[in-house]
Amino acid sequence: MDAQSQSQWDFTSDLEVGFGSQENASIVYAALAVDKELQPNKVKRIMAVSDGKLSVHFEAIEARFLRASFSAFVDVLTLATKTIEEFGQGMEL
């Protein structure tokens, strides 16, 4: 990697969401991990699960790509969270 490609990821943001259990965090991770970034050369998303929390790190070459990616991710994260709240308690997996 040359110096230019290393410094192109000037815009970053981190998000951490607690789900109360490792199982719920892992379910949300698995559901969201299949959605890859549409422009991976402009936005990177790295997810991890630890101690019942989903951590997400975003990097982008421009603020507008970061905003669009973050916003779209929060939309699907909200849907996944509401689904767990509605159907997750006592549900057999």
Q: Are 53 and 17 in contact (CB under 8 A)?
A: yes
Model-level pTM?
Answer: 0.81
Is there a domain that residue 73 lies in?
Answer: yes
Domain of residue 30, residue span = 3-87
Q: What is the pLDDT along the chain (93 residues), one digit of tens a residue?
A: 444 445 688 999 999 999 989 999 999 999 999 988 888 999 999 999 999 999 999 999 999 999 999 999 999 999 999 988 887 665 444
CATH, residue 30: 3.30.310.50
Supply the Cα-derived Rg of the chain in whole angstroms. 15
Q: How many domains does the chain have?
A: 1
- Burial of 13 by CB count in 10 Å (0-12 exposed, 13-18 middle, 19+ buried)? middle
Per the DSSP assignment, residues forming a β-bridge with 49 are: 54
Is there a domain that residue 93 lies in?
Answer: no
